[in-house]
Structure 1
Amino acid sequence: MQVLLGTTLSPVLPLLLPCVLLILICKLWTVYNVRSKDPNCKAPLPEGSMGIPFFGETLQLLLFGAEFYQKKYAKYGRVFKTHLLGQPSVRVIGAANVRRVLLGEGDIVQVHYPRTVQSVLGSKSILVATGKEHDRLRKLVSKAFNIHALSEYVPYMQQFMTEAVKSWCDKGQVCAESESKVLIFRVAGKLLCNFDYDEEESRHLSQVFATMVDNMLSLPINIPGSQFNKAIRARNIIRSRVEASLKKKKESENDLPFTDALRIVSEGGHFNTEQLKELALELLFAGHSTTSSTAVMMIHYLAQRPDIVKRVRNELDEFDLLDEEEPLKFEDISKLKYTSSVIKEVFRISPPIGAGFRKVIKTFQLEGKQIPAGWTLLFSIRETHALADNFAEVEKFDPDRFMPERNEEKKGDRFNFIPFGGGSRGCVGKQMAQLMLKILLITLSRNCRWELVNQETPRIELMPCPHPIGGLPVRISRLDCNANRIDFKKVNEAGDVAC
């Protein structure tokens, strides 16, 4: 009997032993991470799993994207533990939980980004600065986004966007995602750093920038072919262009037609060349990636809602702003409540950033679970918006929810709507981002009509920033058909644009 049993098991043992060892190693990995909880806190750790040694659950996140978090929420609720990007982590969801985190800055949490993000953007950037240094940098940068500065930016935004939209109309059919990235990169480069990149250069650099952003949140493995290595290489290309532009800018400083954001900030503080390169890179990162994502999502939603575009046009007409030749002014744009509501609704339903990072500096509790000091905390923006109880029909694209008649934004907890974060570290450039998007919406509404090439609603990829799968090809034509008549039949015969 023993001989028979041994004969039966012998072929299985070589396969069984590695499986048992793997299970044992994963158990030890979980025990190792769980032991880092605070022994002075009686509350248990949040439910969740820690994945496999070293990698944790990072591979699942990279493979499944936002779906990874959605499955975790469905299984564990609004507070759960995981292990991401080399750190034991807790993700928290919901306005009440996010409120506790954001208002606890400097007390229970402090800003913290993965090593890969810090390596790409620089250790001295405002994004990762803390304490007095953060306060100093934020005060300097805020001057570049006050009402006076924004008012100066408006004519340049209008010029770039009018030229771009008319160019799109001349083509008849464009890939909205790539064109939005190029446009926003040109606008951000000009206004933030006074960089004069033509369309071809902007197209190349926006692609390089996308490579950097898409690969920043990765494992800190800098070997050829790794995501982190791709991000670093893309960063180096951008920095070399920034350095060349800074040198050119310095040589012609007295001839500049306006004061860009980088100049405003640098005049208020003492920065060496290396610091200016980091600052320029960070300004471009903040002003381009998230805004271009929101721009393409706006085009996506409104292509399916011509009734909303019509109401935007009616509002422009009401304020005598419908004429495409009419110069825009900051104070006039500020009066457009419905236009502003459309932009807010895009931010609500597709926030460009899914979550923010913090480092826990003092153990505290959420929903009866301990959040241990030393762990990374991710506060959810995307899921918090989706679960907000003050918004009616939360999945519906409905700008009226932000109009004075309903004003759902002001009902309930204000942390139900946090596209720009909150607390002392809310996005300092949020007013500029909203202004850029308003002017783009005004320009599109004044000049053209657009529709999706593919009738089926495209699937949306949510990470790293929301974007339609396939690049969102759209047909676009001028409203003044006599000036620019687009024959959709001929466009169809010519074939669709490949995005």
Structure 2
Amino acid sequence: MTPMLKHFRYLSTSGIPRPFRSIPGPLSLPLIGTLYKYFPVIGNYKFSKLHINGMKKYKQFGPVVKEEIVPGVNIVWLFDPKDIENMFRCEGKYPKRRSHLALEKYRLDRPNVYNTGGLLPTNGPEWWRLRKIFQKGLSSPLAVQQFIPGTDDIVTEFIERLSLIEGQNAIDFLPEISRLFLEMMCLSVFDIRMDSFSDNELYKNSRSTRLLKSALTTNSCILKLDNGPQLWRYFETPLYRKMKKAQKYMEEVAIDLLSLKMSIFKDRDENSSKSLLDVYFSYPELDFKDIIGITCDFLLAGMDTTSYTTSFLLYHLAINPRAQENLHKESVRLLPEWNSPVTKEVLAEAQYAKACLKESHRLRPISVGVGRVLDQTAVFSGYEVPEQTVIVTQNQVSCRLEQYFPRPNDFVPERWLKDTPLYRQGHPFLLLPFGHGARSCIARRLADQNMLILLIKLSRNYKIEWKGGRIDTKSLLINKPDGPILLKFERYQC
């Protein structure tokens, strides 16, 4: 079969594809593209509300939309899950993204510290060299299960800490969650405790506080740096300088932690549990600069994603008492005592907890969708799109459409449980909170495991009430709550 026949065998089954230029979308103007649509006052789109932009585009233009935000760079937005599936079939041997461009420049400008731009922005064979090694420590459920006991200990300490704020109204819980996941991540990656909740670490100039702020700053800058005019390529713009300062601090912390870990690694007992760095240090293919890059990637991507996702999950449970009560009953059954440990057997049986997490992923995913650069010409909903075009899926919008999910705006965990009447098997490419395929999130299993352990232990011991207004997503590079996570906790008497 020739490459052309093979190509159209799975991408186009009838008729002649319509040309790329005919794909509908917002009007692009000379020199500024569609940036004017994002200007305050006159524009009807916002970079901070990509999901709302997406819904507007879908309703106006249909399931395939072409946009030229940056002049000369076309982006095609996909809403139909069949098109999203086709996109992944066309990503090639080395799935390519156009993302984290300014971060890549920062790292490549520092060859004394980094070999590459890291896993997030790097493409091609060099990306695969890193990926195939770094994913080994996280490639299977068995690989991440070794972290369950340590995570359970941290969460148990956190549950005890809640007694300090128990019964108080209007406590913004997001900073607490962020510190918790920083602690979990550093234990898994470095086998080091950050003591994020100690009195010294709660100050604004402490290491953990500055580290969390640096991750937030970087994630807040990247989307605008990627999609703006990219003047930072020629001189340091204020936004690029802000990102650079944040990255410099994360880099310093990473190097300090790596140096500490290396000194411990030399004397490590071979029979002891291994952190991710223990695994990476054992590979001769990696040098210290490679490991600095992946460590910074973990610090950047591993804290805010889980913190924000957990915040949305607790928000949905707090405003849906029936779902929260069902979760509590399951947690009590799995954990007879308040401090009973979560084990791999408990996680295997926690079906309702998994359904709650999955439903929260549907409503408030980690990001609006997945980006790729086409490896070959493809056809989406009858339109031909040339290779090297930037494609971004709109899963967050699609998961809110009635044709795919009945009652799409309601939090209904039962829709994911096969033994309930609400269960409905949807298209497998609708819900992709961690991406798909070779370029999916490297730590997705660990992230879900950590969130589930917290969810089970928290729902076992505390009733959660919501004390704030309606929460929506704010688009940074990832989705962040657009308001404080105002929760009240009341301990169950059992």
TM-score interval (norm. to shorter): 0.7 to 0.9
- The counterpart of 2:448, out of the listed 409, 430, 434, is 434
**Aligned-pair distance for 1:388?**
6.7
Residue 227, structure 1, aligned to residue 239, structure 2 = yes
- Distance verdict in 2 for CA 1:213–1:408, change over 3 Å: farther
Any idea what the Cα deviations from partners look like across 1:397-424, whole Å, max 9, x if unmatched?
0000111224977724211221122233
What TM-score comes out, normalization by structure 2 length?
0.81
After the TM superposition, which of the residue ranges 299-308 and 169-178 deviates more from structure 2? Answer: 169-178
Once the 2 structures are TM-superposed, how far is the Cα of residue 373 of structure 1 from its aligned partner? Answer: 2.8
The corresponding residue for 1:167 is: 161
Deviation at 1:354, TM superposition (A): 0.9
1:135 to partner: Cα distance = 4.2
Aligned to 2:193: 196
Matches within 5 A, 1:295-334: 295-319=310-334, 321-334=335-348
Deviations 1:446-475 (A, max 9, x none): 222221223x43344344433333321222
Q: Aligned-pair distance for 1:70?
A: 2.6
Of the three residues 99, 107, 115, the one matched with 2:85 is 99
Q: CA deviation at 1:294?
A: 0.6
* 2:386 paired residue number: 372
Give the letter aligned to residue 303 of structure 2: H
Bigger drift between 464-473 and 434-443 goes to 464-473
Q: For residue 17 of structure 1, what is the aligned residue in structure 2?
A: none
In 2, Cα distance between equivalents of 1:375 and 1:171: 51
Contact 2:308 2:479 in 1 (8 A): yes
Contact 2:374–2:387 (8 Å) recurs in 1: yes
Match of residue 13 from structure 1: none
Residue in 2 that maps onto 1:183: 180
Counterpart Cα distance in 2 of 1:120 and 1:403: 45
- The CA distance in 1 between the partners of 2:243 and 2:489, in whole Å, is 34
Output the amino acid matched with 1:381.
N
Given that 1:348 and 1:417 are in contact with CA atoms closer than 8 Å, whether structure 2 keeps it comes out as yes
Structure 1 residue 71, shift from structure 2 partner: 2.2
Residues in 2 aligned to 1:340 and 1:407: alpha-carbon distance in whole angstroms:
18
Greater Cα shift, 75-84 or 136-145:
136-145
* Residues 83, 50 of structure 1: alpha-carbon distance in 2 compared, 3 angstrom cutoff: farther
Asked if the contact 2:19/2:383 (under 8 Å) is kept, the reply is: no
CA separation of 1:351 and 1:300: change in aligned 2, threshold 3 A: same
Gaps of 5+ in 1: 1-39, 482-499
Letter matched to residue 92 of structure 1:
L
Distance 1:313 1:233, change over 3 A: same
Counterpart AA for 2:300: F
Which amino acid in the other structure matches residue 217 of structure 1?
L
The Cα of 1:58 is off from its aligned counterpart by: 4.4
* Alignment partner, residue 299 of structure 2: 284
Which has more radius of gyration? 1
Q: CA deviation at 1:117?
A: 4.5
Q: Tell me the alpha carbon deviations over residues 72-102 of structure 1, each in whole angstroms, 9 at most, x when there is no partner.
A: 2222112111123562211111201100001
| Comparing 414-423 and 56-65, the one that deviates more | 56-65
Query: Which residue of 449, 473, 496 maps to 2:463?
Result: 449
* CA distance 1:336–1:273, shift in 2 (3 Å): same
Is the aligned partner of 1:252 residue 2:245?
Answer: no
Could you tell me which amino acid in structure 1 is paired with residue 380 of structure 2? L
Give how far 1:136 is off.
Answer: 4.2
Which sits farther off after the overlay, 407-416 or 419-428?
Answer: 407-416
Q: Is the 8 A contact 1:109 1:362 kept in 2?
A: no
| One-letter code aligned to 1:166 | E
**Alpha-carbon distance between aligned partners in 1 of 2:103 and 2:27, rounded to the nearest angstrom:** 22
- Does the C-alpha gap of structure 1 residues 315 and 395 become closer, same or farther in structure 2, counting only changes over 3 Å? same
After TM superposition, give the deviation of residue 244 of structure 1 in Å: 0.9
Partners of 2:474 and 2:48 lie apart in 1 by 10
Q: Which residue of 1 aligns with 2:214?
A: 208
> 8 Å contact 1:141–1:265 — kept in the other structure?
yes
* 8 Å Cα contact 1:93-1:384 kept in structure 2: yes
Q: Relative to structure 2, which stretch is displaced further, 100-109 or 299-308?
A: 100-109
- CA contact 1:85–1:114 (8 Å) conserved in 2: no
1:114–1:433 distance in 2 versus 1, CA, 3 Å = closer
SS at match of 2:224: coil
Select which of 1, 10, 22 maps to 1:45: 22
Q: Which amino acid in structure 2 is aligned with residue 182 of structure 1?
A: R
- The SS at the match of 1:392 is coil
**Residues 424 and 406 of structure 1: CA distance in aligned 2, closer, same or farther (over 3 Å):** farther
- Check conservation: 1:150, 1:330, Cα contact below 8 A: no
2:59 alignment counterpart: 74
Match of 1:465 among 454, 478, 486: 478
Q: 1:458 to 1:113 in 2, by over 3 A?
A: closer
Matched residue pairs, number? 440
- The AA in structure 2 aligned to 1:414 is P
Q: Aligned to 1:187, what secondary structure does the other structure show?
A: helix
Instruction: State how far apart, in whole Å, the 2-side matches of 1:451 and 1:396 are.
Output: 18
Task: Look up the equivalent residue of 1:105 and give its one-letter code.
Answer: E
The equivalent position to 1:262 in structure 2, one of 277, 280, 284, is: 277
In the alignment, is the contact (CA less than 8 A) between 1:342 and 1:399 conserved in 2?
yes
**Secondary structure, aligned partner of 2:405:** coil
Using the alignment, how far apart are the partners of 2:376 and 2:193 within structure 1? 47
Relative distance call for 1:230 and 1:316 in structure 2 (3 A) is same
Do the aligned partners of 1:94 and 1:387 also contact (CA within 8 Å) in 2?
no
Check the 8 A contact 1:43/1:368 in 2, yes or no: no
Aligned-pair identity (%): 20
State the distance in 1 between where 2:477 and 2:162 align. Answer: 26
Query: Per the alignment, in what secondary structure is the counterpart of residue 458 of structure 2?
Result: helix
The structural deviation recorded for 1:63 is: 4.8
Cα deviation, residue 187, structure 1 = 1.0
| Residue in 2 that maps onto 1:341 | 355
Distance 1:303 1:99 in 2: 34
Instruction: Give the whole-Å Cα distance in 2 for the aligned partners of 1:171 and 1:234.
Output: 31
Letter in 2 for 1:212: T
Tell me the equivalent position of 2:223.
217
Q: CA RMSD in A?
A: 2.8
Q: Which amino acid aligns with 1:140?
A: I
